[in-house]
């Protein structure tokens, strides 16, 4: 990462009421070509977008005595209003700016997100436990979901990795479609499923 300087650091430190620095990614790196060839990401783990559903988290929480918060899973797109685990069948989507005219933002769902031990760490206290991994082993392992990929049998899944085809547009075409500020998603935007899959990969 590249430090963005003292002025930015001071602004964010004041706004967040804690000392911090702003950094930007110094370059881009390709996503896994097995799932999304020709796409790039920055600081994100493997893909630029991670979608999670509030109803799926609610279904998980029904089986646990304590409430697991969504921040454990670190998604950057959170949807509500769909049945639990409906996102498993979503192959293509569009985000339509809520109540605004504009070009929909296309998204492709390319890979279920296998989870490491990070979601077992409570964000507020940094205390590590066994959940939600143990719950996910019972509900969302590759074996339980009958994945066709042998290497996924013992993995556990929550959320889906996405890519945005519009991110590969030329700067001129992007500005033509999305305006000077580029592609922007906001709280309240509407996600529309445009294409579905029948089986877990």
Per-residue pLDDT of the chain (201 residues; tens, 9 = 90+): 899 999 999 999 999 999 999 998 887 889 999 999 999 888 877 898 999 999 999 999 999 888 999 999 999 999 999 999 999 999 999 998 776 777 899 999 999 999 999 999 998 899 999 999 999 999 999 999 999 899 999 999 999 999 999 988 888 888 888 887 778 888 999 999 999 998 888
Distances (CA, A) of 196 to 32, 120, 166, 168, 200: 22, 31, 20, 23, 11
Helix (H) or strand (E) holding 174: helix 171-178
pLDDT in tens, 123-161: 889 999 999 999 999 999 999 999 989 999 999 999 999
Residue 186 in 3-state DSSP? coil
Residue 103 in 3-state DSSP? coil
**What's the whole-model pTM score?**
0.85
């Amino acid at each position: 990462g590249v430090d963005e300087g003292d002025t930015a650091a001071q602004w964010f430190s004041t706004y967040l009421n804690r000392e911090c620095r702003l950094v930007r990614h110094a370059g881009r790196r390709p996503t896994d070509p097995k799932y999304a060839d020709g796409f790039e990401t920055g600081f994100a783990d493997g893909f630029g977008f991670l979608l999670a559903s509030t109803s799926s988290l609610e279904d998980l929480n029904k089986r646990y005595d304590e409430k697991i918060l969504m921040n454990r899973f670190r998604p950057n797109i959170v949807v509500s209003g769909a049945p639990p685990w409906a996102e498993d069948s979503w192959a293509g989507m569009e985000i339509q700016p809520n109540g605004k005219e504009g070009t929909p933002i296309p998204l492709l769902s390319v890979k279920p997100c296998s989870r490491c031990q990070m979601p077992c760490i409570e964000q507020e206290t940094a205390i590590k436990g066994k959940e939600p991994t143990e719950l996910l082993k019972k509900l969302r392992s590759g074996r339980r979901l009958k994945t066709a990929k042998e290497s996924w049998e013992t993995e556990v899944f929550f959320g889906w990795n996405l890519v945005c085809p519009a991110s590969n547009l030329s700067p001129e075409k992007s500005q033509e479609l999305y305006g000077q500020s580029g592609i922007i998603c906001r709280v309240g935007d509407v996600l529309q499923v445009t294409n579905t899959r029948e089986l877990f990969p």
